[in-house]
Amino acid sequence: MNDELQKKVADAIRNPKNIGEMSDADSVGTVGNSECGEMLRMWVKYREQDDEKVIDRATFQSFGCETAIAVASLATELIRGKTADEAMEMKPEELSGELGPLPPMKIHCAELVQGALRAALSPEDHALGQAAASSDTKPGERVPTLQDSLNEGQAKSGGLNVRFLEE
Amino acid sequence: MQKVLEVFPGAQRALFRKYHIGGCSSCGFQPDETLSGVCERNGELPVAEVLEQIRQSHDEDARVLIEPSDLAKLRGKEADVRLVDIRSREEFEAVQIDGSSMLTQELMQEILGSWNNDQSFVIVDHLGGKCLDAAAYYIGHGMPNVRALRGGIDAWSLEIDSSIRRYTLN
């Protein structure tokens, strides 16, 4: 990564926008696998504008690298006010916005963001919770979050037995 | 790469964070690959630069770790240093360091959304094997004053507070 891109990524990371779950989201999309340390989830909320449904706001969580976080931060800003179709048409290089062209090895980061966005915007996933249906989450269970990635133990909550050593 | 990882346990984290290598199946590497081979198929990265990055990251890992005794002193000096415990609820409820907070989704959001980026806090796990990854995550989010407790709560129990019972999981 060249110095200029590194600086832009660092700037975006220093003050990432739209991080965190959205409790009242209309849809959610997830790509990647939390176990391998690369996962990105996006939440989208719509509003009506001129008889059209446009994106009111979007948030994300990521356990990916700095570039993925930076691209997701920028992308969630860029898609505001767009319809789902307009946002779906955005290419990875557009989503990376002011970061500019990404080197080949970093394109995957923007593709990760594009994948999460498409998962959140695709009609079949618009109902909150449906996106999780593609995972191994059972109905009624909490959708795994990135916190689970940080805390593998909590993902196993309920199945752990603590045995004190002196006993 | 197996040998690289043995010498530099944080190498995969360093490679992923800097070069997006080794984070998932699409960018992973095999244990029998050479570092030069990995560099070659990832845009012909300069091996010397990558190795230096791994070395730097290794040194940085050491700087992120905090000894239990140093944490005890730090807590005496800086009242606002926070302890974030990333263990499971079962473990946290069994034993915990006084004043620590279990990492919940709410706390996760609070840290990223409300805490000052300069906030000092220390990640606590069971044996010290996972706290560096968690600390690296927050460092990646622009929070430079996060540390990871060397040896986790087990080392804290052995070296600082024997009233905290040691345990295993099964």
| Residue B55, domain member (yes or no) | yes
Among A46-50, B120-124, B159-163, which stretch is predicted with the lowest mean pLDDT? A46-50
**CA–CA separation, B20 and B31 (whole Å):** 17
Distant-in-sequence, close-in-space partners of A104: CB < 8 Å, separation ≥ 6:
B43
| Residue A79, domain member (yes or no) | yes
| Residue B164, domain member (yes or no) | no
pLDDT recorded at residue A95 = 83
* Same-domain pairing of B37 and B75: no
pLDDT recorded at residue B109 = 67
pLDDT recorded at residue B105 = 64
* Same-domain pairing of B36 and B113: no
* Same-domain pairing of B77 and B154: yes
- For chain B, the residues whose C-beta falls within 8 A of a C-beta of chain A are 16-21, 23-28, 42-43, 45, 86-91, 94-95, 103-105, 108-109, 112-113, 117, 126, 130, 133-134, 137, 140-142, 165-170
* Same-domain pairing of B54 and B71: no
Tell me the mean pLDDT in the region A63-86: 85
pLDDT tens-digit series, residues A119-163: 888 855 433 333 333 333 333 333 233 334 454 544 445 567 899
pLDDT recorded at residue B52 = 93
Asked if pLDDT for residue B34 goes beyond 90, the answer is yes
Q: How confident is the model at residue A31 (pLDDT cuts 50, 70, 90)?
A: confident
* Same-domain pairing of B78 and B155: yes
Asked if pLDDT for residue B92 goes beyond 80, the answer is yes
Tell me the mean pLDDT in the region B112-122: 85
Looking at the structure of chain A, the number of domains it has is 1
> Any idea which residues of A carry the catalytic annotation?
36, 109
**Residues of chain B with C-beta less than 8 angstroms from the C-beta of A30:** none
**CA–CA separation, B113 and B98 (whole Å):** 24
Which value does ipTM take for this structure?
Answer: 0.75
B105: nearest CB among A147, A163, A165: A147
Looking at the structure of chain B, the number of domains it has is 2
Q: What is the model's pTM?
A: 0.55
pLDDT tens-digit series, residues B132-167: 878 877 776 667 899 999 999 999 999 999 999 999
* Same-domain pairing of B133 and B107: yes
* Torsion sign over Cα A15, A24, A157, A36: negative
Q: Residue A112 belongs to a domain with what CATH number?
A: 3.90.1010.10
Range of the domain at A24: 3-130
pLDDT recorded at residue B51 = 94
* Same-domain pairing of B151 and B101: yes
* Same-domain pairing of B32 and B82: no
* Same-domain pairing of B12 and B31: yes
| Residue A164, domain member (yes or no) | no
| Residue A138, domain member (yes or no) | no
pLDDT recorded at residue A36 = 45
* Same-domain pairing of B52 and B72: no
pLDDT recorded at residue B136 = 74
Contact A90, A110 (CB under 8 A): no
Range of the domain at B16: 2-63
- Residue finishing a domain among B63, B86, B104: B63
| Residue A88, domain member (yes or no) | yes
CA atoms within 13 A on the CB side of B36: 1
| Residue B17, domain member (yes or no) | yes
* Same-domain pairing of B144 and B78: yes
A156: nearest CB among B45, B88, B113: B88
- Residue finishing a domain among B32, B48, B63: B63
* Same-domain pairing of B54 and B75: no
